[in-house]
Amino acid sequence: MPRADGGREPVTSLLDLPGRLNFGDFVWNDAGVPAGPVWVRVDLVAQTLSVFRAGQEIATTVILYGAENKPTPTGWLSVQEKALDYYSRSYDAPMPFMLRLTDDGVALHASVVQPGRVTHGCIGLPYPFARRLYDAMKPGDRVLVVGETLTRS
């Protein structure tokens, strides 16, 4: 996995799912995975998110991402702020388990993940998944957002 500093993020294992995930589904299985640095890979084209710990994938889910006129930024980002029960004044909407990624408010947060929905740039997660991800991540942890413009290797 290419890193911003030119290095690569080691990945030693992936979850083996029996099939495709549906909207609202998620898998969180960190049994036997040792403690270690946590980072997240978001694939906008595939509409999936994977959580890695100590180089092993421990969780995955289906996400929502930004509309064409409000695209989700791509590249390496990092968690700048955590808020358990955030309320957006800009959109008059609650955003539970908010992990802010950019200065202008793009964040990972719980959302109603249903087919056909888009966001204003945030990354929407199923509610129970967002709760677990909120507990697993801390400020400074990195998030790689992969879109069509970024190489998907």
Partner 1 sequence: MCGLTLLEIRVRLRRKFLSITILAMGIGLPLASPSAIEIGKDQLASVLAAMRDPMAILEGRSPGGRGGGAIQTKVAYAPVAVKGPSERVLSAGRPQPVGAPAAIPDAQLGKLIDDLIGPTVPGPGNPTLVTDPVPPGLGGGSSSSGGGFVPPPVIFGGSSGGSSGGEIPTPPISVPEPGSWMMLIAGVGFIGASLRRRRQRAFAA
| Tally of CB atoms within 10 A around 143 | 20
Nearer to partner 1, 13 or 138 (CB): 13
Tell the residue number behind the tokens 């100590």, with chain if given.
54
Q: Is residue 46 at the binding interface for partner 1, with CB under 8 A as the rule?
A: yes
Which residues are within 8 A (CB) of 32 and not within 5 positions of it... i.e. 6 or more apart?
none
Nearer to partner 1, 62 or 99 (CB): 62
Q: Is residue 64 at the binding interface for partner 1, with CB under 8 A as the rule?
A: yes
Q: Is residue 34 at the binding interface for partner 1, with CB under 8 A as the rule?
A: no
Kindly provide the b/e burial profile for residues 33-67, where b requires at least 16 CB atoms within 10 angstroms of the residue's own CB.
Answer: beeeebbbbbbbeebbbbbbbebbbbbbbbbbbbe
Residue ranges in contact with partner 1 by CB under 8 A: 1-2, 8, 10-23, 25-29, 31-32, 43, 45-48, 50, 56, 60, 62, 64-65, 67, 89-96, 109-112, 115-120, 122-124, 127, 152-153
